[in-house]
Amino acid sequence: MPEARDRWYPIARSEELVARHIVHAQLLGQELALWRDDAGRVNAWENRCPHRGVRLSLGTNDGSELRCRYHAWRYASGSGQCTFLPAHPNQKPASTIKVLTYQVSEKYGFVWVCLGDVLGEPAELHLAGRDITTLRSVFVDAPAATVAAAMHPATPSSTEVHWLQPVDETRTVIHAAVLDLEPQTDRLALLRRQHARLARIRDLAETQHRHHP
């Protein structure tokens, strides 16, 4: 579905992109390497070095550049432009040497990616001004449509929100958050209840997919 690419999807919680780490993610079948530089800027790149096709998620995030595991080619945060070729250390790399980068945004406690083209930032208007507590994301071995069906007919809640990340044709991640958590809430108990709710949805969707793939 080409139109499914021209929109934002959440693909990780902000807190997962820790310093000097590279997260290996996947959206609509496209593998991604996600990383944060030391200034806090997030990058969402095709998970493939343009040199010999090695997964960039195996490389090193040194805080300002990503180095490929194979030949240590270096790519600048933001542009994805290659800045250094160890085999030719005195040459400036040709400007054509560049990693494919995707539109990325960080909002509402999540990192969002658009594989195609979209204007502006993710706009979840009902979240404006709300306090957001993100939950642990749940990985489901079922297509997004099956997961969506498993979430019906849950009564809509004003304090629970969720989004679906289609990993590929048969796998989905459920990202969820709780809004406006009261300070005196037993936080742990609430998180456990919420996670159990998502786990039930996962089990329902996976059973449905297994029997009606």
Partner 1 sequence: MDNVALNAWYPILARDEMPPGTRRGTTLLDTPLLIDRAESGAFEVSIQDGTNAVRGDAALPLLERYGYLWTTLGRPVEDLFAIPEYAESDRRNMNGASLAVRVSAPRVVENFLDLGHFAMVHTGYLGVEPHTEIKPYKVSVQAHEILATECIVFQPLAALSAKTGLDVEYTYRVPHPYCAILYKSCAVDASRRDVIGIFVQPVTEVSCIAHMFLSMLDTENSDADIKAWQQVIFGQDKPILENQIPARLPLRPTAEISIRADATSAAYRRWLLDHKVRYGTLDA
- Using the minimum distance from each CB to partner 1, give the nearer residue, 55 or 130: 55
| CB 171, min distance to partner 1, A | 18
- How large is the greatest C-alpha to C-alpha distance in the chain, in angstroms? 63
- Using the minimum distance from each CB to partner 1, give the nearer residue, 84 or 206: 84
The rounded distance, in Å, linking the Cα atoms of 162 and 175 is 5
DSSP 8-state assignment for residue 64: S
The token pair at 110 is 């999540």
Residue 21, amino acid: H
Q: Which of residues 44-73 bind partner 1 (CB under 8 A)?
A: 47-48, 50-55, 58, 69-72
Residue 157, amino acid: S
Taking CB under 8 A as the binding criterion, the range among 81-89, 128-136, 173-181, 184-192 that sits at the site for partner 1 is 81-89
Taking CB under 8 A as the binding criterion, the range among 2-10, 79-87, 185-193, 199-207 that sits at the site for partner 1 is 79-87
The rounded distance, in Å, linking the Cα atoms of 39 and 162 is 29
Which listed residue (1, 39, 89, 120) binds partner 1 by CB under 8 A?
A: 89
The token pair at 182 is 């009261």
Applying CB under 8 A, does 107 fall inside the site for partner 1?
Answer: no
Scan for tokens 């979430």, then name that residue.
Answer: 151
Q: Site residues (CB under 8 A) for partner 1?
A: 31, 47-48, 50-55, 58, 69-72, 85-90, 96-97
